[in-house]
A and B are shown apart, each in its own frame.
Chain A
Amino acid sequence: MKIRFTPEQEAFRAGCASWLQQQMEGPFADIRGIMSQTFRADRRLEWERVLGQARWSVIGWPEKYGGRDASLAEQVIFAEEYARSGAPGRVGHLGTELAGPTILHFGNDLQRERFLRPIAKGEEFWCQGYSEPNAGSDLSNVRTRARLEHGPNGPEWVIDGQKIWTSLAQFADWCFVVCRTEEGTKGPAGISYLLVPMKQKGVTVKPIRQITGDAEFNEVFFDGARTKAEYCVGNPGEGWKVAMGTLAFERGVSTLAQQMTFRNELERIVEAAKSNGAASDPLIRQRMAEAWVGLRIMRYSALRMLSRATTGSLGGEALTYKLHWASWRKKLGELAMDVAGAPGELCVGEGYELADLPYLYLFSRADTIYGGTNQIQRNIVAERALGLPKEARGDR
């Protein structure tokens, strides 16, 4: 078991740390430490482009697509340094961490050529069109449908239906849409994975406000929206496998490095507790210590998974990871609110602007919901890792 980084890796760490520090203390100081996903969006999009130009956006990708061929360990190191620098959450993450890896893995050369470089450069942004009003945990219940049509622009998919909870759709140029392309099919069969341009007449985006007051997610309506026939990842009707592959990216590598963000959050809480006196309360002290313990567990688990992963992908333990961090983060949010105490009730600015700790509290309510709820994650661990019988559906 190897849980130390090599001297080369440490040198790599120093390199990215100094670049990030320069950016965050210099040109992008105004967006340092922002927690909200949508605050100062235009500057955040600019930051994505700067990351892309400097080739720091998707370092794990092949060089020819704008990456650095970085190893898994290096990717984690970069992500750690990224968080340590106080750089804001990535508005481009749906492209860099979900759409991109999916296209790299499951796409064809034409799709890789068309889509990867603009993602890497921060020129095209993406959103995830999975959930629908009646397809949340039960994703295979999607009703959005697409049919092939031979029009004046050659063969095209014509898409009708509705997605919901689509994060960052308001900034997106493209959406990866899970939809039904074979009429009369049910469940995973007959689903395709289409790449659909957002800026077109047949696509309407309506923001949905969240309990935090932000509107990060949206309803997306497809009403005769179109995309080229060749923008189907995997074979038509076999998109379920691809969709699950994307989820593995969402729940896997990209979350390993979140710990540094979490560490920053815990640090903010500890600082606040020291300055407002909450730290003298034994109950709060104990919970801060427990949070630290949970964070270390995450770190060791991540290092363990990394040291086992030889092929650039993760093993079965990764299944448990989302469950662990999501539950931990939610508790961290509760600690934040208790540390803030009664003054935490107050907004700090016009229009429901929350201070960091209350924001963290509200924001962390979602951790155990998106990317597969805790209940669904437990089913996955029980069924896939432990081999327990599958839960019966109610209808089939």
Chain B
Amino acid sequence: MQFTFDEDQRLAAQSLRDLLDDLCTGADLRRAAEACDATSFTVACATRRDRIKELGFDAALVPEAQGGLGLRPVDLVLLAEEAGRAALPEPLVETAGVALPLLAALAAIDPRADAVLPAAIGGAGIALRWPDSDLVVGIDTADLVLTAESETSLALYSVDQFEWVARESVDPLRRLTQLRARAVEPITVSRDASIPSLWREARRCAAVFDAAQLIGLADRMNALAVAYSLERKQFGKAIGANQAVKHQLANVQIQIEFARPVVYSAAGSLGGSLSAPTDMDTRWLDARVAHAAIAARDAADLAARTAIQVHGAMGYSWELDLQFYAKRSWALSGLHGGRSAHFRSLHEALMQQRIELGPDQLFGRSLPRGA
């Protein structure tokens, strides 16, 4: 495996980065956070949302035969990192990385889902409710909802089948809602034998893309802290001139750089079209995904803690944009069972000896394809 990205992958990430540097600045985030209700929030974010749609990443992972770009998860990982770096309020990663591929996979086995797919690819918003949660992000801009009672089925609804109440998150830019079903008529519901494995793969994708967002968030937080340590003077010199500050910032960057390849390689091991790669033991795959989630989370955690500390009291104030990145990190860190669940996956993989140890195994086999 080569830990480098090709030209297309880098250009795509750069185009998103440019757009977000422009339209998702700290000031933009603050405006959105201070929007007093869902409508004004939507208005505050409208231009950016439209421009992101124009980039056309939503259907990146949908197979070409179904009208998508037919890309693989690893092609999206840098985009997820950029979304994280900007603490993007829109659910780009959730839609392109998970919800739309899941709908496409359903469409492949279910004609009624297939009938809706073109609209979803064409820009209809799609929200995902995980079977074990009643919270949804991005319902305000969704037309469709994918959900299930358990991981043995998958149902597609039109959004008007639900009522929802907004739930305020610690992260003022995560628009969480709690869904309540009315007398619900699904567009379709499938109990196909392949559904459980679709959910599992969707979870792996979500975990890896969240990890990528955490890397971007960590990088942004450390960049903010570095910039502040150069600008802020105490004792007649920049605070960054003190070894005690310098070393903290260096430690964060080291942790980020060591987490990056872990996340990239996990993305490289994910299969396209939400199918687990056939030549890889899924337990091994789960271990990789868990490792990525842990490494990214720990990097973001350290980055947040350090950035707040380096900003002094300023870091503790609402006025500073840092809080948006720190709080997004905390929100993402707790998802998919959090650090504990990921460690459990690793333990299981190790204890059942599915991860083979020894130099020939560590470096020779089980390397992911794609990246």
- Asked whether any CB of chain B lies closer than 8 Å to the CB of A193, the reply is no
Q: Which of A's residues lie within 8 Å of B, judged by CB? A: 131, 134, 136-138, 141, 164-165, 208-211, 213, 217, 278, 281, 283-284, 330, 334, 337-338, 340-342, 344-347, 350, 352, 354, 358, 361-362, 365-366, 368-370, 373-375, 378-379, 391, 393-396
* Contact across chains for B334 and A211 when beta carbons are under 8 A apart: no
The smallest C-beta distance from B211 to any residue of chain A, in angstroms, reads 16
- Does B152 sit at the interface, judged by CB under 8 A? no
Q: How large is the interface on B (under 10, 10 to 19, 20 to 34, 35 or more residues)?
A: 35 or more
Task: Point out the residue from B170, B234, B343 that lies within 8 Å of A138, measured CB to CB.
Answer: B234
Q: Are B236 and A393 in contact (CB under 8 A)?
A: yes
Whether A346 lies near B169 (C-beta < 8 A) is yes
Are A209 and B317 in touch, CB under 8 angstroms? Answer: yes
In the complex, besides A211-B316, A391-B242, 17 extra interface pairs with C-beta distance below 8 angstroms are A134-B233, A137-B239, A165-B313, A211-B323, A283-B340, A344-B334, A346-B167, A346-B170, A347-B169, A365-B308, A365-B316, A369-B312, A373-B312, A374-B309, A393-B235, A393-B237, A394-B236
A375 touches B245 (CB 8 A): yes
B301-347 interface with A by 8 A CB criterion: 301, 305, 308-309, 312-313, 315-319, 323, 326-327, 330-331, 334-335, 338-340, 343-344
B343 close to A283 (CB less than 8 A) = yes
Structural contact, A208 and B319, CB atoms closer than 8 A:
yes
Closest chain-A Cβ to B321's Cβ sits at a distance in Å of 12
B26 to chain A, nearest CB (A): 15
- Does B201 touch A at the CB level, under 8 Å? no
**Shortest Cβ distance from B347 into A: residue:** A282
Expressed in whole angstroms, the minimum distance between the Cβ of B249 and any Cβ of chain A is: 12
Interface string of B134-177 (1 = CB under 8 A from A): 01000000000000000000000000000000011111101010
CA distance A102 to B122 in the complex (A): 70
Taking beta carbons and an 8 Å cutoff, which residues of B are in contact with A?
133, 135, 167-172, 174, 176, 233-239, 241-242, 244-245, 301, 305, 308-309, 312-313, 315-319, 323, 326-327, 330-331, 334-335, 338-340, 343-344
What residues on B are CB-neighbors of A370 within 8 Å?
313
Contact B318 A210 (CB under 8 A): yes
Q: Which of B234, B239, B326, B338 contacts A342 (CB 8 A)?
A: B338
- Distance in angstroms from B179 CB to nearest chain A CB is 14
Once bound together, how far apart are the Cα atoms of A317 and B317, in whole Å? 32
Give the complex CA separation of A345 and B176 in angstroms. 10
**Which single member of A134, A330, A337, A396 contacts B330 (CB below 8 Å)?**
A337
Q: Of all chain B residues, which has the CB nearest A134?
A: B233
Bound together, the chains give a CA A278 to CA B169 distance in angstroms of 21
Q: Which of A141, A213, A283 contacts B339 (CB 8 A)?
A: A283
B147 to chain A, nearest CB (A): 17
Question: How many angstroms between the C-alpha atoms of A396 and B233 in the bound complex?
Answer: 14
**Whole-angstrom CA separation of A369 from B169 in the bound complex:** 25
Q: How far is the CA of A341 from the CA of B238 in the complex (A)?
A: 38
15 A-B pairs in the complex with CB atoms less than 8 angstroms apart: A164-B313, A210-B318, A211-B317, A211-B327, A283-B343, A342-B334, A342-B335, A346-B169, A346-B170, A350-B168, A365-B305, A365-B316, A366-B316, A373-B309, A375-B244
Q: Is the CB of B167 within 8 A of A378?
A: no
- Evaluate contact between B313 and A369: CB separation under 8 angstroms: yes
Whether A346 touches B313, Cβ cut-off 8 Å, given contacts A378-B244, A391-B235, is no
Q: Indicate whether A210 sits within 8 Å of B316 (C-beta atoms), given known contacts A375-B245, A394-B241.
A: yes
Q: Is the CB of A345 within 8 A of B334?
A: yes
Is the CB–CB distance between A394 and B308 below 8 Å?
no
Q: Is the CB of B340 within 8 A of A281?
A: yes
- A165: chain B residues at CB < 8 Å are 313
Cβ–Cβ < 8 Å partners of A278 in chain B: 340
- For the complex, what is the distance from the CA of A352 to the CA of B166, rounded to whole Å? 13
A396 CA / B242 CA spacing, docked (Å): 16
For residue A395, which residues in chain B have a CB less than 8 angstroms away from its CB? 235-237
Nearest opposing residue in chain A for B313, CB measure? A165
User: CB distance A345 to B340 under 8 Å?
Assistant: no
Chain B residues closer than 8 Å to A341, beta-carbon distance: 334, 338
Instruction: Tell me if A209 and B339 are in contact (CB < 8 A).
Output: no
**Is there an interface contact between A137 and B235, defined as CB atoms closer than 8 Å?**
yes
Residues of B within 8 A of A366 (CB): 313, 316
In the bound complex, what is the Cα–Cα distance between A106 and B51 (angstroms)? 64
A393 surroundings in chain B (CB, below 8 A):
235-237
> Can you name the residue of chain A whose Cβ is closest to the Cβ of B167?
A346
Measured CB to CB, the closest approach of chain A to B41, in angstroms, equals 15
A395 to B315 alpha-carbon distance, docked (Å): 25
In the complex the two chains form, is B235's CB within 8 Å of A394's CB? yes
Bound complex: CA A373 to CA B314 (Å) = 13
Question: B235 and A369: CB pair below 8 A?
Answer: no
- Measured CB to CB, the closest approach of chain B to A330, in angstroms, equals 8
Chain B residues near A361: list those with CB within 8 A.
Answer: 330
Contacts of A210 in B (CB 8 A): 316-318
State the CA gap A352–B319 with chains docked (Å): 15
